[in-house]
A and B are shown apart, each in its own frame.
Chain A
């Protein structure tokens, strides 16, 4: 490897570290500082508020349901894409990535156009006949969250499925295992870490979604206000300390996800 002169190396190092420090590290650190400026009372008091508790509970509920849906469909679609041949497979695998390249506001708008109760494509039917309102209610929040986090599990599982091949599965089948036994005993254990990964990434995304949720939520406190929406609301109502406290909790979740990924990554690469 060609050596770069010492001054150049230092210049590049300082540039890289300085840029990341000023743009990410310092601001994020300040968030923690502002949260605990007056001790832990700010965080604890904020957590005592019923509205905050219900917002956090709603975020947890919505994220959990969205992750479960994405887990089941993500694993199913990954196996279909890798192990089977069918017409339209390339198209499906290209379309799966769509949710990542669309603005969150567009995601919200698209769901509103189809599922709103007034003039949506399916909304009025669902609301009147099935009594199942979607937009401005929890199902809408779940749909928006599922939408934005949809590709994450699939992106992690598909490459691993390719890599492990299907020799073991065929062996299991030739020894008389049915497809359910093959899935639970052979396929799932070998893609376990990729699935965990995908779920962790989907968790970070689901807990933190803001734009899409904002469009489909009525933003009512205690009803459809998620934690991210509450951060905006609190900040704009000049309750900045509380906004910092909730934001701090959200950052904890996202950093925990990053740490889990960083710890798991080498294991799967071995």
Chain B
């Protein structure tokens, strides 16, 4: 399941050996184009299909947002309700990502280094938010934190419900990026450090954490991007009250339902820009840490 996490890039640029009917194999000097007739046709159809389904529609959003010029963006961003929705979404997503960094790392550590009865069940449950339909995720959270809560917690329709929903849908990301790295981590280094007199805290801070850091950052990026675009789980859970529990995706939907596609497109591109800024920022932090370490 872990390899299916969104965002972990497909490495198609690795060693590709030439197909076709050329005699011999030249590993280094692969020609730029090795398409045979049939493969070329397949590529053409595939790219056409991909463009019609994904590329053209997504560029239509950019085109529609840009067609109104800066006024369109200003109008959307100056609307108090929209601004409140963006602020709520981004702040909550940031807090939930921080929670995930701590809890995700702990869960990954427990899954790799600890041994106890039911660990394999825990391992499967981690993936449940990933496979569960988002609308059902909202319903499920409503069962425990809603009006008939057996815990007596009435978090539905409050700001807390948004934290819950974001935490639920983003739970697997950091666990699944940190877990494999932790499994590969060489115990020798830790033992060497211990034999040289390093305490547990020092070993964790100086040896384990630096090796996990890239994975944690990668997971945090995925988690943040997922959270700011979350929609389904909030529909039933948050009540979507303007200024209080309305997130950006819900705001976008109400623009769409009112037929104001230009505003919806502008908001969509703002969210996309926020996601890009965060991805770049986290990447920079990771590089800086890698250089120092």
Pick the most buried of B19, B47, B193: most chain A CB atoms within 10 A of its CB.
B19
Cβ 8 A contact of A235, one of B12, B35, B231, B236: B236
Pick the most buried of B39, B131, B134, B193: most chain A CB atoms within 10 A of its CB.
B131
Q: Is the CB of A113 within 8 A of B42?
A: no
Cβ 8 A contact of B32, one of A28, A87, A156, A259: A87
Q: Is the CB of B13 within 8 A of A105?
A: no
Cβ 8 A contact of B232, one of A23, A143, A173, A210: A210
Q: Give Cα distance in the complex from A244 to B138, angstroms.
A: 11
Q: A99-B54, A152-B4, A208-B132 are in contact. Are A113 and B261 (CB under 8 A)?
A: yes
Q: A109-B256, A113-B265, A210-B133 are in contact. Are A81 and B10 (CB under 8 A)?
A: yes
- How does the 8 Å CB contact mask read for A168-192 relative to B, with 1 for contact and 0 for none? 0100010000010000000000000
Q: Give Cα distance in the complex from A225 to B53, angstroms.
A: 22
Q: Is the CB of A250 within 8 A of B133?
A: yes
Selected A-B contacts with CB under 8 Å, 11 pairs: A13-B114, A30-B140, A86-B32, A95-B54, A100-B7, A103-B229, A114-B60, A121-B56, A211-B134, A215-B253, A250-B136
- How does the 8 Å CB contact mask read for A7-41 relative to B, with 1 for contact and 0 for none? 01100110111011011111110110010000000
Q: Is the CB of A255 within 8 A of B60?
A: no
Check: B21 CB closer than 8 A to any chain A CB: yes
Q: Is the CB of A85 within 8 A of B191?
A: no
Q: Is the CB of B116 within 8 A of A158?
A: no
Q: What are the residues of chain A within 8 A of B19 when measuring CB–CB?
A: 83-84, 166, 169
Check: A130 CB closer than 8 A to any chain B CB: no
Please provide the chain B residues from 158 to 201 with a CB less than 8 Å away from any CB of chain A in the complex: 164, 167-168, 171, 187, 190-191, 193-194, 200
On B, residues with C-beta under 8 Å from A are: 1, 3-4, 6-19, 21, 30-36, 38-39, 42-43, 45-47, 49-50, 53-58, 60-61, 64, 103, 106-107, 109-111, 113-114, 116, 118, 122, 124-129, 131-136, 139-141, 143-145, 150, 164, 167-168, 171, 187, 190-191, 193-194, 200, 203, 225, 228-232, 235-236, 249, 252-253, 256, 261, 264-265, 268, 271-272, 275
Q: A16-B110, A255-B131 are in contact. Are A105 and B139 (CB under 8 A)?
A: no
Q: Is the CB of B132 within 8 A of A251?
A: yes
Other than A150-B54, A155-B10, give 12 A-B pairs with Cβ distance below 8 A: A27-B144, A81-B10, A87-B33, A93-B13, A96-B50, A98-B54, A106-B271, A107-B57, A159-B10, A166-B17, A215-B253, A250-B133
- Shortest Cβ distance from residue B235 to the other chain A in the assembled complex, whole angstroms: 6
Q: Is the CB of A20 within 8 A of B43?
A: no
Q: What are the residues of chain B within 8 A of A17 when measuring CB–CB?
A: 110, 118, 122
Q: What are the residues of chain B within 8 A of A23 when measuring CB–CB?
A: 164, 167-168, 171
- Shortest Cβ distance from residue A257 to the other chain B in the assembled complex, whole angstroms: 5
Q: Is the CB of A80 within 8 A of B42?
A: yes
Q: What are the residues of chain B within 8 A of A132 when measuring CB–CB?
A: none
Q: Is the CB of A110 within 8 A of B57?
A: yes
Q: What are the residues of chain B within 8 A of A267 when measuring CB–CB?
A: none
Q: What are the residues of chain A within 8 A of B46 when measuring CB–CB?
A: 73, 76-77, 80
Q: Is the CB of A102 within 8 A of B58?
A: yes
Cβ 8 A contact of B127, one of A162, A211, A258: A258
